[in-house]
Amino acid sequence: MSTTTVETVPLPALSLTLQNGQKIRYHSDISIEADEIPVIDISDIYSDNLQARKAVAEKVREAAHRIGFFYIINHGIDPEHAENTFQQAKRFFAQPEKKKMEVCTDLVTEYFGYFPMAKYNRNGKKEKDLMEAYNWGYSPKYDPEVASGKEPDVDYVKLLWPVELPGFKETLYEHHSQLLTLARRLTKTFALALHLDEDYFAEYIKTPAAGMRITHYPSQEASPSDQLGIGAHTDFECFTFVTQDEHAGLEVLSKSGYWIKAKPIPGSIVVNIADCFMRQTNDFFVSTVHRVVNKAGAERYSCPFFFGFQQDMKLEPVPTCVSDSNPMKYPIVSSGEYLRWRAEQAKKVV
């Protein structure tokens, strides 16, 4: 009598709990190369042909549901904006620590300002996360959809801008405005991806929670088991654009429990789903865990743009993602309530 041998895949052996309460398991701290993150040409989101726009949306739907990460190319943003932002990042982080601390995030309750080098330890490693960052937020003054740009800056954003770097604020907001316009356009694509009317989210994005960050990761000597550039986490908002420099470091946790390298692709932007979109879509869109490990042997810079819905809008379930047999899994809160709670949790991790 013949016998059949069934190959079994070992369960991930390592685990940790994230700031949002999610528990994850993974096989190893060592990342692998795998062809799991799709590259999507989104040029047709600008097409006058609805079917062409829907075709892009179906590719986005697959990626957002399967892994929650994808690259976009032909997105319409001139690469000079990223180059200029990285130059400003180098100017800011090259300042003496005393100058950077004048705009430290500890001075405000919001998630803006300077985050000092090696202050946080998101995953409880032996060494603290080897990175520093500077965050700023949405201002209607720099929103292309606000008539004449006459709206004043939000006070806390104005408070935390460095005063001795001429052109810093203006250059960063030039890039921010470009990404804001792209994010609003891509929100239409996400609506089509969820088989909704293209303008379903229009009321959610009039004054969005659109934060942005410049980050600096020195090359790390320690192993990923002892230290990370930024520890494993999910993002707070609906989705994130990540503009990378030429140095690798971003890693994504696959559903099978392996850390996958998300290497830079020239001219691309990485898009990842964040927690608010996961909640609203009842887990149909996946807010995927990611981290940074800079073993490139060089300084690494990146620029994430975090796009969230208007803070007074309720994160109500998307109708195509709930049913009698698949009820909503999360309590309904406003976007602002959820973002404030996540920011408070993040700033507690020291």
Can you say whether the dihedral through the CA atoms of 307, 72, 52, 196 is positive or negative?
Answer: negative
Q: How many percent of the chain have pLDDT more than 90? A: 71
Domain range enclosing 211: 31-348
Decide if 16 is inside a domain: no
Torsion of CA 160, 80, 206, 332, to 10 degrees: -70
pLDDT tens, position by position, 106-143 = 888 778 999 999 998 988 899 999 999 999 999 998 99
Q: State the pLDDT confidence band at 241, using cuts at 50, 70 and 90.
A: very high
| Cβ-contact 121, 230 below 8 angstroms | no
Decide if 126 is inside a domain: yes
Decide if 4 is inside a domain: no
Whether residue 155 has pLDDT greater than 90: no
Run of H or E residues at 272 = strand 269-273
State the average pLDDT over residues 170-176.
97
- Enter the pTM of the model: 0.92
How many separate domains does the chain show? 1
| Cβ-contact 269, 79 below 8 angstroms | no
Residue by residue, DSSP assigns 165-208 as: STTHHHHHHHHHHHHHHHHHHHHHHHHHHTTS-TTTTGGGSSS-
Decide if 19 is inside a domain: no
Run of H or E residues at 275 = helix 275-280
Whether residue 6 has pLDDT greater than 50: no
Position 311 scores a pLDDT of 85
Which residues share a beta bridge with 210?
307
Decide if 5 is inside a domain: no
| Cβ-contact 40, 64 below 8 angstroms | no
Residue 3 CA: distances (Å) to CA of 6, 9, 28, 46, 316: 10, 19, 33, 57, 52
Position 63 scores a pLDDT of 97
Q: How many helices (H) and strands (E) does the chain have?
A: 7, 14
Decide if 10 is inside a domain: no
Decide if 21 is inside a domain: no
Please name the residues in contact with 289: beta carbons below 8 A apart, sequence gap of 6 or more.
Answer: 18, 22, 24, 232, 233, 234, 252, 253
| Cβ-contact 219, 300 below 8 angstroms | yes
| 90/141 Cα distance (integer angstroms) | 25
| Cβ-contact 180, 144 below 8 angstroms | yes
Please name the residues in contact with 260: beta carbons below 8 A apart, sequence gap of 6 or more.
Answer: 31, 32, 33, 34, 36, 37, 251, 252, 253, 254
| Residue predicted with more confidence, 96 or 311 | 96
Q: Looking up tokens 């707070």, which residue turns up? A: 236
Residue 26: closest CA among 233, 258, 231? 258
Residue 160: closest CA among 217, 241, 92? 92
**CATH at residue 169:** 2.60.120.330
State the average pLDDT over residues 86-101.
97
Whether residue 100 has pLDDT greater than 50: yes
Decide if 321 is inside a domain: yes
| 265/76 Cα distance (integer angstroms) | 15
pLDDT tens, position by position, 296-319 = 899 999 999 999 999 899 999 999
